[in-house]
Copies of this chain bind each other. A is one copy, B any other.
C-alpha cells in the first residue's frame, strides 16, 4: 500500500454536508464528541480510510477478530445540515509530520467530492481547571465572532497540533470556511464531560435545524 486508500461501503445522498472531525487526542475529547454526534444523528458508517501513515500493527478485539488501523466516515442524512463525521481509533505518529499532511489532504479531497465546503474540527485543550469551557479558532474573524457570540472563548495565540489543527488549516487554504472547537480538559483521562460540552456547543452552533431536524 503506497498511498492512502479509501474504501467506500455505500454512497449516501449528501447535500452540502458539513465535515465534523473527532479523533483521539487530549482527554479523547474530539473522539468522544464525535461518537456522541454519531449516536445522536444516527449517522451510518459509509467509508473507511486506510493509510501507510497509520500505525503498522493490527488490533485484535476480545473475540480474536483483527482490524488494520483506519479512519471511519459516517454520513448523517437525517440532520439539517447533512453531516460527514470523521472518527477513528488512532492518529499517525507525532514524529511524522508528512503523514498528517498526506491523510488530511486526502480527507479534504474526499469531503470535497461529497460537496463539503465547511469543516468543524473538535479536540481537547489541557487546562488546570476546565470548568466546561469551549474554545474556538476559526478561518475568518467574522466566523470567530459569530461563534464567540454563542458562548465560546477565543483560543488565541497558540498552535493546534495534528489533524484537528491541520484539517482546518488545509481546508482554509482551499477556500473552505470552518472552525475548531476545543473542550477544556485536564487530559488526565478520557474526559466525557469536556466532550459533552463540545458536543452541546456544536449543536448550538449548527443551529436549531439540527436539533429539531432529528
- The chain A residues found within 8 Å of chain B, CB to CB, are 1-3, 5, 7, 48, 50-70, 93, 96-102, 104-105, 108, 136-141, 144, 148, 154-162, 165-166, 168-170, 172-173, 180
Q: Is B137's CB under 8 angstroms from A1's CB?
A: no
CB of A65 within 8 A of CB of B139, answer: yes
A66 contacts which of B50, B59, B102, B165 (Cβ < 8 Å)? Answer: B165
Q: A90–B17 Cα gap in the complex (Å)?
A: 33
Which residues of B lie under 8 Å from residue A141 when comparing CB positions? 63, 65
- Copies of this chain held together in the complex: 4
Given the complex, which residues of B lie within 8 Å of A144, measured CB to CB? 63-65
Pick from B5, B66, B156, B161: contact of A139, CB below 8 A.
B66
Cα-based distance from A66 to B156 in the complex (angstroms): 9
Given A160-B58, A173-B7 in contact, is the A105-B52 Cβ separation under 8 Å?
Answer: yes
Contact (Cβ within 8 A) A2 B64: no
Which residue of B has the minimal Cβ distance to A169?
B68
Interface centre among A98, A138, A148 (most CB of B within 10 A): A98
Contact among B50, B154, B160 with A63 in the assembled complex (CB-CB below 8 Å): B154
Are A58's CB and B159's CB within 8 A?
Answer: yes
Contacts of A70 in B (CB 8 A): 173
**A-B complex: 10 closest residue pairs judged by Cβ atoms:** A68-B169, A1-B105, A52-B101, A58-B169, A56-B97, A64-B154, A56-B100, A58-B165, A64-B144, A62-B156
Given A1-B105, A58-B165, A172:B139 Cβ within 8 A:
no
Q: Tell me the bound Cα distance from A100 to B139 in angstroms.
A: 28
Which of chain B's residues have a CB closer than 8 A to the CB of A54? 97
With contact pairs A56-B97, A66-B137 given, residues A61 and B157 touching in the complex (Cβ less than 8 Å): yes
Of all chain B residues, the one with the shortest Cβ separation from A165 is B58
A96 to B: closest C-beta gap in Å: 8
* A48 to chain B: closest residue by CB: B173
